[in-house]
Amino acid sequence: MRKLLSGAHEAIGQTPMVNLSRLVKEYGVKGRIYAKLEYLNPGFSKKDRIALQIIEEAEKNGELHRGQPVVELTSGNTGTGLAIVCAVKGYKFIAVMSKGNSPERARMMRALGAQVVLIDQAPESPIGQVSGMDLALVEKEAIKIVKEQNAFRADQFHHIGNVHSHEYHTGEEMWEQCDGDIDAYLDFVGTAGTFIGCAKTLKRHKSDIRCYVVEPETASFLAGKPVSNPNHKIQGGGYCMELGFIEKELVSSYLSITNEEAIQMARSLAKTEGVFAGFSSGANVAAAIKLLSGAERNNSIALTINDSGLKYLSTDLYDA
């Protein structure tokens, strides 16, 4: 048990890992899925980790100064993590987010003291489905605010603290919690920080671990497939853009998941395992089930449960 903490930021990390044996049995596949419950972080997502790492690395190397505002674009999860860390450390935080993301996230960030700037979606983007075009509009506004306020940009797509948070912590925790019983690892990619960080660590422990990138079926940009529809429902990734963190030599293969597969698996997680998670977590587990039906039959797959289903109650994720 942890000792008394000095603040909520110290509760970030050391999340539990569970064997999804009931779900594996339900789907009739052979093997094991080890799921790291990242939605049990204080901000209910794995992005709390990168928020803490980026801020603390920036403090240490002089990028961030006392009293300086912090700005970042976010789909909501990184912003929530930054709101928590900035609240504890005494920084003003400004989150810039597309109106296409679920409103629960904006409300939570505001409750944590953040200023939230909401950006209209691109004209061709369906409501609630954020594309790379939407993200570009958010990026433009974030850059503007940084210049106007001489702020520190907690740039999750480029700040190496993103990768470090998972390389130094998440991946090591996975390996220890599973006693090294990991044959494969996968992640639905947003910034690619989680994927690259964990892949680096796991491969250091076991060089032949297979590492899979998960993308939306209609937006498998990283796999080099034609993008038929960038406006998918799986929030937090699949942006159809080049990612600075990607190291292709760490990618064993690419997997694609439909909106329906992600939604159905999120619902199955809740009903079968008592794990109440969001779209991207459903995508991760759906991809693992596919692997256990084929290339990774009888093997052990590690993954993260990225965020809480509480962040999607305004969507159709749990309508049924």
How many whole angstroms separate alpha carbon 219 and alpha carbon 128? 16
Task: Measure CA 88 to chain center.
Answer: 22
Residue 250: which residues within 8 A CB-CB, separation 6 or more?
Answer: 195, 196, 199, 200, 203, 211
Is the CB of residue 191 less than 8 Å from the CB of residue 213? no
**Cross-strand partners of 66:** none
Is residue 271 annotated as a catalytic residue, yes or no?
Answer: no
CB of 239 closer than 8 Å to CB of 132: yes
Clarify whether 280 is annotated catalytic. Answer: yes
Report the C-alpha dihedral over residues 204, 47, 11, 37, rounded to 10 degrees.
-70
Are residues 74 and 51 in contact, defined by beta-carbon separation less than 8 angstroms?
A: no
Point out the catalytic residue in the list 36, 46, 47, 233: 47
User: Are 208 and 159 in contact, with CB atoms under 8 Å apart?
Assistant: no
Close Cβ partners of 242 (under 8 Å, ≥ 6 residues apart): none
Catalytic residue among 165, 280, 300, 308: 280
Cα(10)–Cα(67) distance, integer angstroms: 21
Cβ atoms of 307 and 277 closer than 8 Å: yes
Closest residue by Cα to residue 247 from 135, 160, 169? 160
What are residue 254's phi and psi, to 5 degrees? Answer: -120, 140
Amino acid at 83: A
Catalytic residues: 47, 280
